[in-house]
Amino acid sequence: MADGGFTKLPGGSVVVAITLPRPLGDGGVRVLVHAANRQRALTRLRNLGLRAVYLRGNSAPPTPDEVTAVLHHPDGLVWRTAPDSGGELWHPIAALLRPPAARTP
């Protein structure tokens, strides 16, 4: 379904990275989650409504830059479009899950 992987940190926690289809649009999104273990990371995503999230294998683990990005975010849960077009900043997960703003005429 999606590429993903994880990195175990020296303190015992993990950073999980997974590429998912974009909910409202074309392409995909790369989601990073910092949690105590892989199961809790996936549970955090499922609790946000991303029910069909599974991590099979470690084919696309987070890069050192991705690990730094998620560790410096207060929620420990960020995303950006995939593949990276270069220079795009990481967004909080709320920006991905909120419906698009209604346009006024």
Please check whether residue 64 lies inside any domain of the structure: yes
Please check whether residue 102 lies inside any domain of the structure: no
Please check whether residue 104 lies inside any domain of the structure: no
Pairing of strands 77-82, 91-92: antiparallel
Intervals of the chain under pLDDT 70: 1-2, 23-25, 85, 98-105
Please check whether residue 62 lies inside any domain of the structure: yes
Residue 17 β-bridge partners: 5, 32
CB 38 within 8 A of CB 94: no
Owning domain of residue 59: 4-97
Q: Structure pTM?
A: 0.83
Please check whether residue 105 lies inside any domain of the structure: no
Domains of the chain: total: 1
The whole-number pLDDT of residue 16 equals: 96
